[in-house]
């Protein structure tokens, strides 16, 4: 089980890199102090012998790629708030040789906040670009300082960005980087000495070595390095990574590669958002690679006359999936749904959980709760699942979380999504259940409290949240949230319960009592949303106004939030699953159904236009949840004791999502990006609900195995826990479990090992 964040084979790096100042200095190429630019840095070193291990640590403002003797060894650092930017640790021994060696790096600085980069404060000269590196080879240290040489790479820049991606065109100009610059057997390019950067702050004369403002002592990389094969694009599946072009291009001429999501007959669709990299040739055959990451189903190449393009490929750079988790059952449609969901989460797992690998690549605070749950149930490496809540625990002064972190949205803070912070609370609760690290939960719990208490000023006299401001997205469906929002109050109720449970576990009884009391008042006040005549909860309550609209969102939030009495569960499940009364509706279209695969624009109401009146029969119909909120719907069905319904409910992904893209899940039933990690709930459900594998106690000290096949004839699979893999095989009349930990099944507790149980 890969839960140790150390990349040095799991051993501690404390003895390799003790606390205190680094030996290395922040360095850069001289003469550049603004705008997006790229530099190359180089250090030649002779070794009499190569030790068994050569641990190195390094970081950069903003990004770097490290080479040893011409081989790429590491890319980083991971996205983070610059005030707590981790450094990377890697073992160089396998890449070194006795005799001459070259350590090289290409590092680049973004001109402005990017979807995946948040600039440091303007208080020191490291904000103009900085790189730091130190390695120990036996008793000797190799450190970044003025003995390195450096060159600014002319022409390596970007055009101004615009639109949702805000990234512009990346430009790689090979005329300024000689071939073999990092080859120990090649010619020294003769660059000038590197210059030292000083992290000057008020009250300090400036420190050239870490720890320094604003990053402090930094922290070791918490996740694995990204991996992936070199693949050739095709329009049948989404791929994501760096673009690699093998071509001979006339000097000064450029090859342009555009990554596109939507491709028809080999051409860009007019509605697509593409991202672009341009390679400028030097007249020779070169293998050229982008430094930013691109994703899409199509990669359209525009080459000038006289150029010879040998190949255009993508080196996928995704978070690795470890272990042998799997799922199989008697319905091949569900088998395919499991695999597509796993692939979709992988495409959206880089140095954080992303919304999509194509248009944005932002680390949204709420989206990633689904990615995390898929990883916890299908990937033996839980480090990214643990990093997500820590990365996004970046509260504003009022306790609310940014809607996306470590990038342009956190920088501008132009709005908030209050419900996204409540989904984040659920991700912390997932860590409590699956990992059960008391120190980890204790560090995050004050942020959880800040989120939960942020809502207190909105409480009305009945204990409910009233007129909460911000972007209450809930889902891309038409869920009315004005007044007392049923869905929002239900999510807050869940957060209160989860906060109380975690506080009690940490023996913080006073805070647990506060949250429990708040929840009791909310439960009583929530009754105003119950429509006794129609046996359902309405979406919003405004005194003196009839608000009959109802959705799957509010019914399910009432259950997961602990606000609905148990004797209503059966009726609420009927409301959630009555196909004759469920309608596809979205605010962006006010004149009729938002039919699946209709390519409607999503989020048309975001520009402040009044919400359209419902076109559906609000007295009868119930608005369907889109893929993201379905995880809450499915949790509600399971809590109501009806998990056997889920296999059929999961086939919605086969009915609607498969038609738009059969290899990764679409953002909504009717449009948006074709690879959105938040749509992968079925992969989790097939493990948690069909096989029934979950923690029975915090930290997975004991497992719960409660299969619910529903219409399936059989199912089998494996899921990770900290002690190894739990394997379950469910057949008519028999359940076989192979578990490394104790587990509960059918009301009995079993010791670790293999057990065949008559069911």
Instruction: Specify if 744 maps to a domain.
Output: no
Q: How far apart are CA 361 and CA 348, in angstroms?
A: 8
Cβ atoms < 10 Å from Cβ of 188: 11
Shared-domain flag, residues 244 and 375: no
Residue 677, domain member (yes or no): yes
* Residues 57, 37 share a domain: yes
Residue 260 sits in a domain whose CATH number is: 2.60.120.260
Closest CA to 293 of 226, 371, 383, 343: 226
Between CA 247 and CA 257 the distance in angstroms is 12
Q: Could you tell me if residue 69 is left (phi over 0), alpha (psi between -120 and 50 degrees) or otherwise beta?
A: left
Same domain, 451 and 570: yes
For residue range 17-42, list pLDDT tens digits in order. 988 999 999 999 998 777 889 999 99
In a domain, 274, yes or no: yes
Q: What is the pLDDT of residue 432?
A: 98
Instruction: Give the C-alpha separation, 493 to 524, whole Å.
Output: 12
Beta bridge partners of 151: 40
Backbone phi and psi for residue 104, each to the nearest 5 degrees, phi listed first: -135, 155
Among residues 684, 753, 720, the alpha carbon closest in space to that of 1 is found at 720
Q: Give me the sign of the Cα torsion angle 407, 410, 411, 414.
A: positive
Q: Which residues fall within 8 angstroms of residue 532, CB to CB, at 6 or more apart?
A: none
SS3 category, 72: strand
Question: How distant, in Å, are the alpha carbons of 7, 283, 563, 586 from that of 670?
Answer: 41, 47, 31, 10
Q: Within a domain: residue 625?
A: yes
321 found inside a domain: no
* Residue 719 within a domain: no
Whole-angstrom CA distances from 20 to 201, 209, 211, 216, 220 are 19, 10, 7, 11, 14
pLDDT of residue 271: 52
Specify the pLDDT at position 14: 58
In terms of domains, do 425 and 399 share one? Answer: yes
Residues 310 and 259 in one domain: yes
Domain CATH for 429: 1.50.10.10
> How many Å separate Cα 679 from the centre of its chain?
12
What DSSP assignment string belongs to 480-519?
Answer: --SSEEHHHHHHHHHHHHHHHHHHHHTT-HHHHHHHHHHH
277, part of any domain: yes
Q: What is the DSSP letter of 551?
A: B
Instruction: Clarify whether residues 337 and 478 are in a common domain.
Output: yes
Could you give the number of structural domains in the chain?
3
Supply the pLDDT for residue 166: 66
Residue 295, in any domain of the structure: yes
Same domain? For 311 and 340 the reply is no
Domain boundary among 256, 284, 316: 316
The residue from 643, 668, 690 where one domain ends is 690
- Which range marks the domain in which residue 60 is found? 27-162+177-220
The helix, strand and coil proportions of the chain, stated in percent and rounded to the nearest 5, come to 25, 25, 45
Q: Of 675, 690, 705, at which residue does a domain stop?
A: 690
Q: Residue 139 in contact with residue 47, Cβ under 8 Å?
A: no
55 and 35 part of one domain: yes
Same domain, 453 and 342: yes
Residues of the chain with pLDDT under 50: 3-12, 270, 607
pTM score, two decimals?
A: 0.96
Cα–Cα dist 688/685, whole Å: 5
If asked whether residues 627 and 542 sit together in one domain, one would say: yes
pLDDT, residue 531, reads 97
571 and 619 in a common domain: yes
Claim to verify: residue 204 and residue 234 sit in the same structural domain: no
Q: Sign of dihedral through CA atoms 530, 532, 538, 544?
A: negative
């Amino acid at each position: 089980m890969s839960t140790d964040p150390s990349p040095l084979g799991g051993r501690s790096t404390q003895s390799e890199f003790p606390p205190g100042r680094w030996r290395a200095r922040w360095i850069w190429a001289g003469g550049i102090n603004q705008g997006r630019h790229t530099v190359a840095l180089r250090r030649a070193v002779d070794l009499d012998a190569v030790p068994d291990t050569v641990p190195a640590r390094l970081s950069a403002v903003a990004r770097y790629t490290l080479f040893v003797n011409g081989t790429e060894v590491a890319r980083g650092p991971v996205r983070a708030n610059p005030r707590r930017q981790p450094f990377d640790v890697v073992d160089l021994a396998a890449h070194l040789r006795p005799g001459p060696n070259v350590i090289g790096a290409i590092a680049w600085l973004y001109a402005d906040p990017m979807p995946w980069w948040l600039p440091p404060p303007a208080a020191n000269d490291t904000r103009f670009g900085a790189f730091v590196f130190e390695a120990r080879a036996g008793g000797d240290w190799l450190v970044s300082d003025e003995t390195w040489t450096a060159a600014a790479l002319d022409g390596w820049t970007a055009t101004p960005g615009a639109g949702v991606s805000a990234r512009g065109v990346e430009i790689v100009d090979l005329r300024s980087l000689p071939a073999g610059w990092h080859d120990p057997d090649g010619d020294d390019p003769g660059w000038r000495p590197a210059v030292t950067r000083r992290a000057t702050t008020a009250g300090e004369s400036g420190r050239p070595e870490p720890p320094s403002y604003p990053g402090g002592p930094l922290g070791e990389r918490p996740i694995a390095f990204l991996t992936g094969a070199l693949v050739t694009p095709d329009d049948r599946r989404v791929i994501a990574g760096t673009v690699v072009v093998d071509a001979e291009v006339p000097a000064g001429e450029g090859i342009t590669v555009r990554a596109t999501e939507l491709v028809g007959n080999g051409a860009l669709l007019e509605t697509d958002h593409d991202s672009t990299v341009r390679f400028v040739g030097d007249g020779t055959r070169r293998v050229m690679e982008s430094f930013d990451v691109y994703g899409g189903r199509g990669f359209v190449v525009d080459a000038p006359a006289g150029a010879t393009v040998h190949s255009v490929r993508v080196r996928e750079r995704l978070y690795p999936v470890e272990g042998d988790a799997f799922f199989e059952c008697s319905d091949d449609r569900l088998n395919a749904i499991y695999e597509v969901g796993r692939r979709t989460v992988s495409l959206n797992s880089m140095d954080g959980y992303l919304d999509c690998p194509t248009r944005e690549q932002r680390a949204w605070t709420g989206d990633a709760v689904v990615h995390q749950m898929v990883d916890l149930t299908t990937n033996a490496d839980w480090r990214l699942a643990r990093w997500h809540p820590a990365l996004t625990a970046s509260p504003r002064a009022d306790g609310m979380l940014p809607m996306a972190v470590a990038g342009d949205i956190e920088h501008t803070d132009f709005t908030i999504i209050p419900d996204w912070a409540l989904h984040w609370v659920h991700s912390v609760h997932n860590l409590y259940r699956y990992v059960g690290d008391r120190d980890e939960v204790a560090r995050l719990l004050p942020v959880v409290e800040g989120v939960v208490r942020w809502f207190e000023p909105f409480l009305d006299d009945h204990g409910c949240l009233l007129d909460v401001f911000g972007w209450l997205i809930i889902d891309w469906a038409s869920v009315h949230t004005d007044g007392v929002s049923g869905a929002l109050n239900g999510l807050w109720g869940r957060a209160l319960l989860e906060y109380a449970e975690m506080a009690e576990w940490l023996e913080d009884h006073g805070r647990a009592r506060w949250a429990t009391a708040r929840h009791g008042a909310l439960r009583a006040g929530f009754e105003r949303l119950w429509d006794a005549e129609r046996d359902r909860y309405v979406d919003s309550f405004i005194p003196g106004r009839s608000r009959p609209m109802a959705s799957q969102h509010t019914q399910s939030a009432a259950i997961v939030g602990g606000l609905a009495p148990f004797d209503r569960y059966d009726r609420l499940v009927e409301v959630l699953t009555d196909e004759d009364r469920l309608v596809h509706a979205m605010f962006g279209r006010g004149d009729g159904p938002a039919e699946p695969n209709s390519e409607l624009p999503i989020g048309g109401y975001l520009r402040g236009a009044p919400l359209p009146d419902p076109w559906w029969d609000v007295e009868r119909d119930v608005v369907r949840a889109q893929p993201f909120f379905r995880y809450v719907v499915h949790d509600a069905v399971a809590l109501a004791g009806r998990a056997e319904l889920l296999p059929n409910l999961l086939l919605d992904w086969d009915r609607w999502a498969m038609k738009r893209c059969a290899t990764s899940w679409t953002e909504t039933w009717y449009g948006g990006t074709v690879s959105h990690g938040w749509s992968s709930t079925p992969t989790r459900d097939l493990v948690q609900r069909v096989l029934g594998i979950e923690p029975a106690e915090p930290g997975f000290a004991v497992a719960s195995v409660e299969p619910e096949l529903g219409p399936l004839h059989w199912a089998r699979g494996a899921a990770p826990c900290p002690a190894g893999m739990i394997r379950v095989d469910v057949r008519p009349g028999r359940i076989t479990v192979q578990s490394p930990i104790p587990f509960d099944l059918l009301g009995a507790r079993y010791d670790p090992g293999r057990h065949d149980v008559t069911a």
